[in-house]
Amino acid sequence: MKYLLLVPDGMADWEVNGKTPLEIADTQNMDFLAKNGSCGIAKTIPDGFEPGSDVANLTILGVDVRKYYSGRGPIEALAMDIKGDIIFRCNLVCIKDGVMVDYSANRISDSEAKKVIDALNNEIARKWNFIKFYAGKSYRNLLVINADYDAKVKTTPPHDIQGKRIDDYLPKNGDLAELLLELMEESKKVVERITNKANAIWLWGGGKSIKFPNFRERWKVKGLMISEVDLLEGIGKGLGFDIAKVDGITGYIDTNYKGLAKATLNGLKTHDFVVLHTEGIDEVSHEGDLEKKIEGISIYDEKIVGYILDRINLEEIRIMLLPDHPTPVKVRTHVAEPVPFLFYGSKKDDVKFYSEKSCRKGRFGLVDGLKLMEIMFKF
């Protein structure tokens, strides 16, 4: 038996004029799976957590974030094979007159960002022999602190305070916050000198490095992660999955669908369990573009789900499909509501198509996201 988990990030939505994008889009392949399988809705964001893709995807994969989550930094460090005691996301940002004007440093190039990070290591990190900056992609970099701090500092993602005054959102609570503030202050002159795309660093999403429970031991399957973003690569590595590389992916609705679908089919030959996470539908949801979301869902149905269904033996596979969280175009951000899921490969229920509403009537009802892998492998 093979197992396939399809995660179209942010696909679930609210009604616009009585229908959700999923209900308007052409989704015959997802409907086929729902009709011949069974459905439910899953709570992928535990109470008290922000509806981020990190928390949601970990929950779907059976990792209890209440025990194993310490922030985005440590997960991204896994993706980049970076080790350390405490790891923070280090954005290059632009702050003007005390206001966060650009959390992404005008999409600074990787090479220019690396110049900034090198200079920060040479001129700033040197003063504290236990810290180091690491260059990532564009404005997304990391700071590693190898020291024994209480990591309970309060920080804020810079994309949440775009256009707002930063004063209320600077790191607070204790010694570590003091260190972060000092680093942010000292870095300003260095960043400003090296680039005109940014003038500061913003440290957030930090926590102690973590070790996830071993997925392979728990479920006796060899896993493969196929994704378009570092975050999912990090989660995959943390769980002990192999990581597939696909050329030409964009993380948008113009991505290399054929490459992703082919990698999935190939992965199912070499691995027991394949996760395919795609990003584009979430991106157009953040843009608030209903037409593009409907288009993105239709393309996903045809070029990912349809392409795969046409080429696999449906007798020998179990398929689960769900978005990690809803990203309603109306609010252009993630929400923590349950998402519809379909599960193909065991009994049927009466659900005839895949949507937010129809799945509520499925035989699983509302399930805790942490139970999804039990459904996948044991049901």
Residues lying near Zn ion in the complex (CB under 5 A): 282
Give the other-Cβ count within 10 Å of 33's Cβ: 24
> Of how many residues is the chain composed?
379
CB of 150 to Zn ion, least distance (A): 30
Quick one: 102 or 282, whose CB is closer to Zn ion?
A: 282
Quick one: 181 or 331, whose CB is closer to Zn ion?
A: 331
Q: Where are the alpha helices (DSSP H) in the chain?
A: 21-24, 28-35, 53-60, 65-68, 72-79, 110-123, 175-194, 215-219, 230-238, 257-270, 280-286, 290-299, 307-309, 372-378
CB of 206 to Zn ion, least distance (A): 20
Quick one: 13 or 282, whose CB is closer to Zn ion?
A: 282
Quick one: 152 or 332, whose CB is closer to Zn ion?
A: 332
Phi-psi label, residue 122: left if phi above 0, alpha if psi -120 to 50, beta otherwise = alpha
CB of 53 to Zn ion, least distance (A): 6
Quick one: 282 or 356, whose CB is closer to Zn ion?
A: 282
Number of H helices, E strands in the chain: 14, 13
Half-sphere exposure of 148 (CA within 13 A, CB side): 0
- Residue number of the CB closest to Zn ion reads 282
CB of 334 to Zn ion, least distance (A): 6
CA distance linking residue 328 with residue 12, whole number of Å: 7
CB of 303 to Zn ion, least distance (A): 21
Quick one: 82 or 231, whose CB is closer to Zn ion?
A: 231
Quick one: 228 or 282, whose CB is closer to Zn ion?
A: 282
CA distance linking residue 49 with residue 191, whole number of Å: 33
Quick one: 170 or 331, whose CB is closer to Zn ion?
A: 331
User: At a CB cut-off of 8 Å and minimum separation 6, what does 101 contact?
Assistant: 94, 95, 162, 163
CB of 175 to Zn ion, least distance (A): 33
CB of 282 to Zn ion, least distance (A): 4
User: 53-60 and 230-238 helices cross at what angle (nearest 10)?
Assistant: 40
Quick one: 207 or 326, whose CB is closer to Zn ion?
A: 326
CB of 305 to Zn ion, least distance (A): 21
Quick one: 95 or 231, whose CB is closer to Zn ion?
A: 231
Give the other-Cβ count within 10 Å of 218's Cβ: 12
CB of 327 to Zn ion, least distance (A): 5
Residue 154 is which amino acid? K
The secondary structure of residue 159, as a DSSP letter, is G
CA distance linking residue 154 with residue 152, whole number of Å: 7
CB of 284 to Zn ion, least distance (A): 10
Half-sphere exposure of 321 (CA within 13 A, CB side): 31
> Looking at the DSSP assignment, which residues form a beta bridge with residue 271?
none
- Render the burial of 351-375: b for 16+ CB within 10 Å, e for the rest: bebbbbebbeebebeebebbbbbeb
